[in-house]
Copies of this chain bind each other. A is one copy, B any other.
């Protein structure tokens, strides 16, 4: 296992197999009354979040605590960064206290990699700008694998704001690595520039027509629309977005009632996903959240526990 988890390409298919196998064991721990393993006792994990994310931060915090690590939260707000300190000095300072892992969320693409070059601690990218969010991709693929079995030749459809989504970037890479067929669907204004060259290289399809794609989907992942994009002219109104690209009740019928529906959350109900879809029996939204803790336990375990072995 590598020292850091910065992007999906840091992993080999064997690494992913190992991570998923351990995640499955952690998932069992999660269902016990006593959720506690001694694996990371005496290790210190810092959640260093320059952007707010209750969901991701809490998931890592729970994962660390269940492995008996000491976990400490540091937010960008109120940190030394606001006193004019450079990012490098902030990070070096935190690392110098003697921490074993830094879980980093930062608004700038590439921030996690830069940080990993500065410190001895393991760095886990918990979202950097519009670049990557590898543990999200791992938990999504883990959730899909639990439902569908091996993903080879399965057709996974990702729908939404691809331009601004790090979840999309990490997911496409991991799903392709695992052999899935992938189609990404977005309105032209939210399709990333250069997507053609990229899709040719990585071997995924693109489409502007959700209704044409859905009938062949083995799984659908709806991405969050960030409402602030609406004022950016990316699409005219929320209603038009929903009509063209929302997972509405009608499109749910088109899918059939066994094809799993995923969403990384937080959901805009009524915008990119209808309540009927979010709450359907085939929705894996809460399974994703549950798997998130198990997958992050697995990542922390493999990055940190090895040192004592």
Q: Show the binding face of A for B, using Cβ within 8 Å.
A: 30-36, 41-44, 46, 52, 54-55, 58-59, 61-62, 65-66, 70, 72, 74, 78-80, 82-86, 89-90, 92-94, 96-99, 227, 265-269, 278, 286-287, 289-290, 292-293, 307-308
Contacts and interface: CB of A to CB of B under 8 A. Distances in A.
- 10 A-B pairs with least C-beta separation: A34-B42, A85-B266, A36-B42, A80-B266, A96-B289, A52-B78, A54-B79, A96-B286, A65-B70, A30-B98
Contacts of A31: 98
B70 A269 contact: no
A97 B266 contact: no
Residue from the set A31, A85, A99 with the largest chain B CB neighbour count within 10 Å: A85
A43 B54 contact: no
19 contacts: A33-B307, A33-B308, A34-B43, A42-B66, A58-B72, A58-B74, A58-B94, A61-B72, A62-B98, A62-B99, A65-B72, A80-B266, A85-B266, A85-B268, A89-B278, A90-B266, A93-B265, A97-B292, A98-B290
B89 A266 contact: yes
A161 B279 CA distance: 42
Nearest to A36: B42
B290 A97 contact: yes
B52 A42 contact: no
Nearest to A296: B97
Contact of A36 (B41, B293, B308): B41
Contacts of A97: 58-59, 62, 289-290, 292-293
A241 B186 CA distance: 54
Contact of A89 (B70, B74, B83, B269): B269
A235 B40 CA distance: 50
A244 to B, nearest CB: 20
Contacts of A307: 33
B34 A86 contact: no
Contact of A54 (B36, B52, B80, B269): B80
Contact of A84 (B58, B74, B266): B266
Nearest to A84: B268
A2 to B, nearest CB: 18
Contacts of A266: 80, 83-85, 89-90, 93
Given A58-B72, A58-B74, A70-B66, A89 B36 contact: no
A65 B84 contact: no
B30 A35 contact: no
Nearest to A35: B42
Given A44-B65, A46-B58, 12 more contacts: A34-B42, A34-B43, A36-B42, A44-B66, A52-B82, A54-B79, A54-B80, A55-B93, A62-B72, A93-B289, A96-B286, A97-B293
